Structure 1
Amino acid sequence: MTVRTRLLDPAVARAMSAVSAAAKKGLGDPALAELVVIRASQLNHCAFCLDMHLGIARGHGVDERRLDLLAAWEEAEEVFDERERAALALTEAVTVLTDGFVPDDVYDRAAAHFDATRLAHLIGLIVAINNWNRVMVGRRIPPGGYTP
């Protein structure tokens, strides 16, 4: 696969980075934030973002077993707690939008585990990583080249 372009307007990149950083900070749980962005990146097949965020997750102490089982989180009940599972369900619903909207039960499940402010930051984070995934996949940016 050939990279289409590496060009990304610096102002756009700064704005997208600011949204991501604000959402992560507001969520207040760096390990969960990385699980969310990794799961969205898996769904979107974004190798660049997976490569970057797997490394960041490890830096936040997320163990390999959790990373290995993230794609099958629904079947790995003993590995992810209910709060994480609610966040991952919301991540999938916002990322895929199968029915054109986020189902009420998925939203309500997340709302039971996050106050309104943290839920807003969680949704912002999901939207931000989906934007990044589309920017990277749309340009066919390969993994690698990320330096923390």
Structure 2
Amino acid sequence: MTARTTHLDAGVRTALLAVSTAAKKGLGDPGLAELVQIRASQLNHCAFCLDMHLAIARKDGVVSESQLDLLDAWEEAGDAFDARERAALALTEAVTVLTEGFVPDEVYERAARHFDEVRLAHLVALITVINSWNRLMVGRRIPPGSTQW
């Protein structure tokens, strides 16, 4: 399997990076931001984004190794994730997969109990932008560690 293209248009890359940066800043929780981005990337099978966000989480120490190890099974992970993280992860899965064609009200309302309106909007924006990155990387088959994205 080889990459289908070598470069992403600089304007697109700059715009997505700006949305990502603004969403993370508005969310105000670097560890949660990495958990959300890693979980969406797991669901989308994006090796490039998984590699990058796992490295960031480990380098910056914003997420415990236990959480990284258990993230794929977060619902069954006992106390490894608090109620706020669980609400964010449930919303991440609902927005990423959209199996019902929409985000179920109960999932959105659960998240709304843990995030004020502004932080919730930033969380949804972060989930949306990581899904965009995932689709760009998976669609173009950009491998982990690539510098040509």
- Do both proteins adopt the same fold according to a TM-score greater than 0.5, normalized to the shorter chain? yes
1:99 counterpart = 2:100 = yes
Cα deviation, 1:70-116, whole Å, max 9, x if unaligned, reads: 00000012100000000000000000000000000000000000000
Cα deviation, 1:19-42, whole Å, max 9, x if unaligned, reads: 000000000000000000000000
1:71 aligned residue? 72
Which stretches of structure 1, 4 residues or longer, exceed 3 Å deviation after superposition? none
1:22 counterpart = 2:39 = no
Distance in 2, matches of 1:60 and 1:24, equals: 14
CA RMSD in angstroms comes to 0.8
Return 57-66 or 24-33, whichever deviates more: 57-66
Contact 1:48 / 1:141 at 8 angstroms: preserved in 2?
A: yes
2:114 aligned residue? 113
Amino acid across the alignment from 1:76: A
* Identity fraction in percent: 75
Contact 1:30 / 1:60 at 8 angstroms: preserved in 2?
A: no
Q: Cα offset for 1:141?
A: 0.2
Q: Cα offset for 1:58?
A: 1.2
Distance in 2, matches of 1:27 and 1:55, equals: 20
Name structure 1 gaps, 5 residues minimum.
Answer: none
Distance in 2, matches of 1:58 and 1:103, equals: 32
2:58 aligned residue? 58
1:3 counterpart = 2:3 = yes
Distance in 1, matches of 2:59 and 2:23, equals: 19
Cα deviation, 1:93-146, whole Å, max 9, x if unaligned, reads: 000000000000000000000000000000000000000000000000000136
1:82 aligned residue? 83
Q: TM-score, normalised by structure 1?
A: 0.96
Question: Number of aligned pairs?
Answer: 146
Q: Where do 1:44-55 residues align within 5 Å? A: 44-55=44-55
Q: TM-score, normalised by structure 2?
A: 0.96
Q: Cα offset for 1:64?
A: 1.4
Distance in 2, matches of 1:60 and 1:109, equals: 28
1:126 aligned residue? 127
